[in-house]
Structure 1
Amino acid sequence: MLTSPNLSLLLILLFVAIFISVISGVIFLNKRISLAYVRIHIYLVALPPLIAFIGLILAPKNINIGLWYSDILSWLMAFFVLIIGLIIQRYCVRYLAGDRSYRKYFTLFTLTTSFASIAWLTGDLRIMVVSWGFTLVGLTLLISLTSAWRVTRAAAIVTGKLFFLSWLALLLAVIWLGIVTGEWHYTGIFTDANLDQINAWTRFGINMLIILAVMIPAAQWPFQRWLIESVAAPTPVSAIMHAGIVNAGGIMLTRFSPLFNGDIATIVLLCFASASVLIGAGISLVHVDYKRLLVGSTIGQMGFMLIQCALGAYIPAIIHLILHGLFKATLFLRSGSAVRHFNVPSRANERMSYLWILAGRGLAIMIGLGFWLSAPEQGYRLVSGLILAWSLSVSWTQLVAFGEGKFGRIMGLLVLGVVGIVYYIVHHFFNDALHTIAFHSAQPPMFVVVIVALILLFGSLMSTWVARHRSSVAFSIIYMWIVHLGDAKIETVERHPNYLKKYLSKGGH
């Protein structure tokens, strides 16, 4: 374990490494610098996550170092964002080769991830707001880099407007909080004495601003439009959005958790997040475009994450956002090779699979019920058990019930077993480490938890009913409504990037 002076030195080394990587990106903008320099740039970009990893393992936790705050969450998020940025930049070396904005992508990726890591390492809310603002600006510029293409220009305008609204809400919340408490540091603001100074209406107003600031980057209904429009951006830009930006809401809510302790604003968050889960799941089911399918999945997953935060389950929310970020970044970076194959089983095979489906649902109900009853006093366990049962039921159906013969079902069982063991190990590792975070977790009223569970069950039952009544009017209405929700506006849709015709006519220059 490092001492406080050594921690200060480690922070200095981290910021020096970040500064060097940013300067390297700026140098790469010079057209006189060979494109081969990009490999040197990648090595320099690898320095900050390496130092952040050392801090994650060795740095003392829950202490202030001037404007910075050292705890497991700050180092974990700094390392996560920086390593995701490194992986994506390494992927772009060949993927974006030949792009007119090739050099700018690396500079903006470096700047965006650097500011995002600083936002989570600082303990001063003013620095956090400024750093997060630059992160959103960097992401908007990444979307708009292909400026000759009308589609990306329109998507960047939509994204920029919503991001500005989100950042403005966060700025107002922080200023309001600073005026009321007279403090700007997390540890200074969230003391019992300062929290007692905040009356109920002031707390509700600040919390609503924070919820607005969180919901927009998380693409929650009714602010999901920017994420849907941004599918025209290059795949690496989508990867950085889905892996390191949209899931920032869980970190913000964890940092501001003392304010949400028993406040009615959590019910507002639960309502919007629950609606987003259903809408996101619907979009991912009805759309056939691969990137749009992933967008729907992200909207739903971020809804689950915000439900976890609203129910006081901040540690599961953080684990969720990290695993989701890694999973979704992998899916986007592999999207070029994604080809979906649909095998329609015969009627005989369907009858044979029916008993397996019933067995899987029975097993899922037993496991979900057991998970809840292991700690029924924790309200979140009910929703968590429901999600666990639903996930297991779907996985069992796809991997086991519809497996090709005995061998296919045995392999499906093995895959489920391995995934379960890996998740158990990873979950418990993060759970033990994150328990050192200083946050406030209040159990919501049980009727709120029951309402959330009923909403999710209603959505599941509706989807099942609609799937079995595809010739009904209700199916047509719901289907077209969800398709409309997941469709981008006409300004951000184009069959082919027509601006490329001009470049091709000039020999590609």
Structure 2
Amino acid sequence: MFNLLGSISWSTVFFLLLMLSICSAFIILIPKVPVNYVHVHIGIIALSPIVAFMALVFNNENVIIGPWHFDSLSWLWSTFVLTIGLIVQRYSVHYLLGDRSYRKYFALLTATTVVDSLAWLSDDLRLLLIGWGLTLLGLTLLIGLRKEWKVARHASKTSGRYFVISWVILLVAIVWIEQVTGHWQLSQVLRQDSLSQFNAWEKTGINLLLLVSTIIPAAQWPFQRWLLDSVVAPTPISAIMHAGIVNAGSMMLTRFAPLFDGNSVQVVLLVLSSVSVLVGTGIMLVQVDYKRQLVGSTIAQMGFMLIECALGAYLAAITHAVLHGLFKSTLFLQAGSAAGQHEPITYKVQPSSYVWMMIGGILGLLLGVAFWLTSPTEGYQLVSALILGWSVVLAWIQLIAFGTGHIGRITGIILFIGAATVFQMVHITFERLLQNALPVGIQQSISMGILLLVILLVASVMGTWFIRKNSKISLTIYLWLIRLGEPKRNLVESHPQYLTQLLSRGGNVH
């Protein structure tokens, strides 16, 4: 009873603050309101993520109140989405000052993050569908914010078409679920008696629909075009995409996890995500445009996130989505600093370095094996062990083996221990916060992990062999990746011609 009252109190305050944020967004749109009001607006929207974070820390029980589902996962996601929205809006106060769409930008960004957080707080599938649809609509409008620029209009139309397809597919899946179970509440749908009503083909069909509706907003191959085209939008908009929009696939699949358990669609997801990892990495490596490099990296990282979902590692997927969202948003907001010239870093390998490199290799091997032996029959544990071992080796080589003298290596060891400590603290924190909100007992067998490793290793070996042979196949792959990452003709303009047209008419550019 105490937990229920606590959840009602936190949720009431949270909803009131979200309504206040929306009201503030409408006030910004009033022309008579001074532009400086945006500073007041920033203070108002800062309140809701604070309350969401406090609810996450002090009252993270699993409680369903009406059409809303309050647990640590929903509070964490709301905190994450609204915090990135706050950071991006604070950054944009001066970054976009003078832009003709300045007021509209803040209003749209506030509305998009609010409905995004509400979508994943809902237990009613109809509310989830409406909230997610409004989120995609808001992102589409943000991408086409500079509607006078035909390049932005084309990018917005491309994204809109992809999002409409994704939303309609999700609509079909949700209606199908209701027809089978007779419930709109997700908590009721995922009960064992409701799940038993699905026969094999219905479950597979619904899972395929959910899969497609998930990988389109996640910009997975072959639906990555919309994210590549969206780089024409202002950089803060590229940053806000990582606030529970591009990376919302982890939430979708986590919420529907019991429906996915043991279904063959997970193999399809594993294969498509693995291909996306390779394609995204390839685009990142061949592109010279910094924002397109970041987009290629996002495609690959979202692939890894969905691989984690396919292997049943939902804790890893949620952690990955949140940390990657914070990290990649920061990189986008710092995109301007990439214009500086940097000299390549060269390492002079000393005889003693080889000894330290061997020590790092042995340490990585031992830690990887020890980690795998904790759960040797789970598919994701094998993948995690290899990633952990390889990461330890790389970190050891960069920080310690290539250190200059005793001081350099001592500093490297301190940094290595510090990084390992932070990693462990983050892992423990997320595990404790989400232990009661994530599906349990859903782990894929070792065969799924082996399948993933075979796909990635074969592709890596073949790619390396083609490159070293300098064959026509390697050249073809290279050109294909270049073409895949390059914009279409209607998304290229040497100079924004709408500015010239405005000046010729004597209009105000801003």
What amino acid is the match of 1:492? L
Deviations 1:137-195 (A, max 9, x none): 00000000011112211111111011111111111111110111011112211111111
Q: Distance in 2 between matches of 1:442 and 1:423?
A: 24
Superposed, which structure 2 residues align to 1:57-456 within 5 Å?
A: 57-59=57-59, 61-338=61-338, 339=340, 341-343=342-344, 345=346, 349=349, 360-400=360-400, 410-456=410-456
Matches within 5 A, 1:492-503: 492-503=491-502
What SS does the corresponding residue of 1:183 show, helix, strand or coil? coil
CA distance in 2, matches of 1:367, 1:122: 41
Task: Indicate the residue corresponding to 2:485 in structure 1.
Answer: 486
Q: Which stretch shifts more, 494-503 or 379-388?
A: 494-503
Instruction: Pick which of 447-456 and 354-363 moved more.
Output: 354-363
Equivalent residue number for residue 42 of structure 2: 42
Please, what TM-score do these two structures have when normalized by structure 2? 0.93
Q: What's 1:25 paired with?
A: 25
SS at match of 1:74: helix
Which one is further off, 489-498 or 247-256?
Answer: 489-498
What CA distance in whole angstroms lies between the structure 1 residues aligned with 2:6 and 2:445? 45
Q: Deviations over 1:119-138 (max 9, x none)?
A: 11111111011000000000
CA contact (8 A) 2:63 2:70 kept: yes
Q: Deviations over 1:196-217 (max 9, x none)?
A: 1100100000000100111011
SS at match of 1:244: coil
- Which moved further from structure 2: 359-368 or 487-496? 359-368
> In the alignment, residue 492 of structure 2 is paired with which amino acid?
V
1:247 counterpart SS class:
helix
Question: Is 2:314–2:438's contact at 8 Å kept on the other side of the alignment?
Answer: no
Shift of 1:280: 1.3
Deviations 1:208-228 (A, max 9, x none): 010011101111111111111
Deviation at 1:395, TM superposition (A): 4.1
Aligned-partner Cα distance in 2 for 1:367–1:5: 45
Give the unaligned 5+ runs of structure 1. Answer: none
Instruction: Work out the CA distance in 2 between the residues paired with 1:357 and 1:341.
Output: 27
SS in 2 for 1:145: coil
Separation (CA, whole Å) in 2 of partners of 1:420 and 1:410: 15
In structure 2, how many angstroms separate the alpha carbons of the residues matched to 1:405 and 1:332? 36
Asked if the contact 2:380/2:446 (under 8 Å) is kept, the reply is no
**Distance in 1 between residues matched to 2:461 and 2:402, nearest whole Å:** 21
Structure-2 change in CA distance of 1:173 and 1:437 (3 Å): same
Cα displacement (A) at 1:463: 4.7
> CA offset at residue 97 of structure 1?
0.6
Change (3 A) 1:282 1:264: same
Name the CA distance, whole Å, in 2 between partners of 1:481 and 1:350.
Answer: 40
Distance 1:350 1:22 in 2: 61
Q: Is the 8 A contact 1:84 1:244 kept in 2?
A: no
Contact 1:250–1:309 (8 Å) recurs in 2: yes
1:273–1:304: 8 Å Cα contact kept in structure 2?
A: yes
Q: 2: CA distance between counterparts of 1:487 and 1:367?
A: 41
Residue 399 of structure 1 deviates from its aligned partner by 4.5
Q: Is the 8 A contact 2:254 2:438 kept in 1?
A: no
Whether the 8 Å contact between 1:239 and 1:333 is mirrored in structure 2 is: yes
Bigger mean CA offset, 363-372 vs 1-10 = 1-10
Counting aligned pairs with the same residue, the percent is: 49
Deviation, structure 1 residue 334: 1.2
Query: Contact (CA 8 Å) 1:229, 1:488: kept in 2 or not?
Result: yes
User: Which SS does the other structure have where 1:210 is aligned?
Assistant: helix
Residue pair 1:382, 1:453 contacting (<8 A) in 2 also: no
Pair 426,340 (structure 1): closer, same or farther in 2 beyond 3 Å: farther
Q: After superposition, give the CA deviation of every residue in 1:300-336 in whole Å (9 maximum; x if it has no partner).
A: 1111111111111111111111111111111111111
User: What TM-score do you get using the length of structure 1 for normalisation?
Assistant: 0.93
Change beyond 3 A, Cα 1:194–1:318: same
Q: What CA deviation, in whole Å up to 9, does each residue of 1:59-92 have, x standing for no partner? A: 3511211111111101111111111111111111
Distance in 2 separating the partners of 1:459 and 1:150: 39
Contact 1:316/1:431 (8 A) holds in 2? no
* RMSD after superposition: 2.3
After superposition, what is the alpha-carbon deviation per residue over 1:374-397, rounded to whole angstroms, capped at 9, x for unaligned?
321222111112222343444445
**Cα deviation digits, residues 421-451 of structure 1 (max 9, x gap):** 1111011111122111152543324322211
Q: Which runs of 5+ in 2 are unaligned?
A: none
Residue-pair matches, total:
507
Q: Are the equivalent residues in 1 in contact too, given 2:377–2:445 (CA < 8 A)?
A: no
| 8 Å Cα contact 2:7-2:63 kept in structure 1 | no
Contact conserved, 1:59 with 1:70, CA < 8 A, in 2? Answer: no
Mapped to 1, the partners of 2:70 and 2:442 lie a distance apart of 24
Name the stretch that deviates more: 357-366 or 298-307: 357-366
> Which segment is superposed worse, 369-378 or 104-113?
369-378
C-alpha contact (below 8 Å) 2:375/2:381 kept by paired residues: yes
Checking the alignment, whether the CA contact within 8 Å between 1:2 and 1:58 is kept in structure 2 is no
Q: Residue 105 of structure 1 aligns to a residue in which SS?
A: helix
CA distance in 2, matches of 1:306, 1:27: 39
SS in 1 for 2:244: helix
Query: CA shift at 1:340, angstroms?
Result: 5.9
In structure 2, how many angstroms separate the alpha carbons of the residues matched to 1:474 and 1:271? Answer: 22
Shift of 1:30: 1.4
1:8 matched to which residue of 2?
Answer: 8
Distance 1:206 1:85 in 2: 32
Shifted more, 98-107 versus 485-494: the winner is 485-494
What is the distance in 2 between the residues matched to 1:290 and 1:358? 35
* Cα pair distance change 1:480/1:43, threshold 3 Å: same
CA contact (8 A) 1:29 1:103 kept: yes
